[in-house]
A and B are shown apart, each in its own frame.
Chain A
Amino acid sequence: EPEVTQTPSHQVTQMGQEVILRCVPISNHLYFYWYRQILGQKVEFLVSFYNNEISEKSEIFDDQFSVERPDGSNFTLKIRSTKLEDSAMYFCASRAPLAGGENEQYFGPGTRLTVT
């Protein structure tokens, strides 16, 4: 069964450093999402992406964050200058077009980001 993959599974970085979290969505999917979950808190929406541009973003997704689809398979989340409060589990999700009623988002296993 096709699945969303994410690398790395765990990333440790120092405050102020740039990190790139990588996701490989399911191959025929066209809609992509990033969510995060700070330990002990809710899963929160960060951004959605379609047709090479951001569809929607939350208040969390400020100028320190960016997303990119650098090639036909990867979808990345970059944090330019990490803060301690960016420590969280980051989930990537992807979704097929809506034709046929398909609206399920498929999630990857997550990348645990630890900022020290």
Chain B
Amino acid sequence: AQSVTQLGSHVSVSEGALVLLRCNYSSSVPPYLFWYVQYPNQGLQLLLKYTTGATLVKGINGFEAEFKKSETSFHLTKPSAHMSDAAEYFCAVSNNQGGKLIFGQGTELSVKP
């Protein structure tokens, strides 16, 4: 079975500070990993994904994540937070291309001026 754990249900950073949202996964097969963002009253939007190949993945809005198999982690980072980054962020895992997504519980990111 697969599972995802996101450490911290709420993270608060100052504008311009580093954003680090943590995600650890459990999977018995090579995982496909995703980060989604949800703005208020909107659907889930894909930020980035890891399938195979390069372990450092770049996504939209300046976000990136690194797949670390030895640590079973897929943490999301952004060097400098912007007010518009305030949203809920979900890490998800799948066991095949296009299969069902198993989500973490989400992390709400707040950005202080």
B63 to chain A, nearest CB (A): 15
B70 contacts across to A, CB distance below 8 A:
none
B61 to chain A, nearest CB (A): 15
| Pair A43/B103 contact, Cβ less than 8 Å | yes
| Pair A107/B45 contact, Cβ less than 8 Å | yes
Query: Which applies to chain B's interface (DSSP): helix, strand, loop or mixed?
Result: loop
| Pair B51/A42 contact, Cβ less than 8 Å | no
| Pair B43/A109 contact, Cβ less than 8 Å | yes
A58 contacts across to B, CB distance below 8 A:
100
| Pair B103/A33 contact, Cβ less than 8 Å | no
B111 contacts A by Cβ under 8 Å: no
Contact with A along B99-113 (1 / 0, CB 8 A): 111111110000000
Q: How many residues of B contact A (CB 8 A)?
A: 22
B32 contacts A by Cβ under 8 Å: yes
| Pair A103/B103 contact, Cβ less than 8 Å | no
| Pair A104/B44 contact, Cβ less than 8 Å | no
A107 contacts across to B, CB distance below 8 A:
36, 43-45
| Pair B102/A91 contact, Cβ less than 8 Å | no
A51 contacts B by Cβ under 8 Å: no
Which of B's residues lie within 8 Å of A, judged by CB?
32, 36, 41-46, 49, 51, 90, 92, 97-106
